[in-house]
Structure 1
Amino acid sequence: MAGTGGGKEGPGLLCRNVKVSGRRTSLRMEPYIWDSLKEICERERLSLNEICSRIDERRGEANLTASIRVFIVSYFRTAIGNRGFSEDGPSPLLRKAMDDAVPMD
């Protein structure tokens, strides 16, 4: 596993090896994306390789890394449904997501 930094993988990206549909490949994604994917694996009681293989089987011509990111967003959007949303301004859910994803310096 590569660390974070401004090296070959770009700023803030982690490179990890996974086995996807029986073949070894490496994926470069942000730590927050890796954490989210790990959480989904734990919730669904599936390994990282199993989740990535399932996404790979369905992605068609799309890039695997992009497909994983879209899957994560879709998973959590489906999980929350309409809970946490407010018509009277930013919801606590929005504030928390923004704080987690885009911290203020």
Structure 2
Amino acid sequence: MAGTGGGKEGPILVCRNVKVSGRRTSLRMEPYIWDSLKEICERERLTLNEICTQIDGRRGEANLTASIRVFIVSYYRTAIGNRGFAEDGPSPILRRALDDAVPLED
């Protein structure tokens, strides 16, 4: 697992800029989280900005970085529950993970 060290200061965080709903923002997350998010983007054929915008639109008052982490866990848990990923295009896993991790407010 790359980049999880960091000694007494805690894990290494990588800062990257993304566009969320058309505005530029910075996110600081562990390299493993960035790698996982990139893998999800590739599987779902969406850009990093598109996934972050979808999460942002559902998170309410929650912190965006925390919402992204919860989304990643939800995505992979959903995939495991469905006994794997669909190989042909976007899957219902994305929608389910978004619904579970950052539900739309009523």
Superposition TM-score, scaled by structure 2 size: 0.68
| 1:29 aligned residue | 29
* Identity of matched residues, %: 91
> Is there any run of 5+ residues in structure 2 with no aligned partner, and where?
84-106
Report which structure shows greater RCO (CA 8 Å, sep ≥6): 2
Deviations 1:44-75 (A, max 9, x none): 00000000000000000000000000000000
- 1:39 pairs with 2:45: no
Q: CA deviation at 1:11?
A: 4.5
Q: CA deviation at 1:82?
A: 7.2
Return the alpha-carbon distance in structure 2 between the equivalents of residues 17 and 82 of structure 1: 32
Q: CA RMSD in A?
A: 2.5
> Is there any run of 5+ residues in structure 1 with no aligned partner, and where?
84-105
Return the alpha-carbon distance in structure 2 between the equivalents of residues 41 and 82 of structure 1: 19
Superposition TM-score, scaled by structure 1 size: 0.68
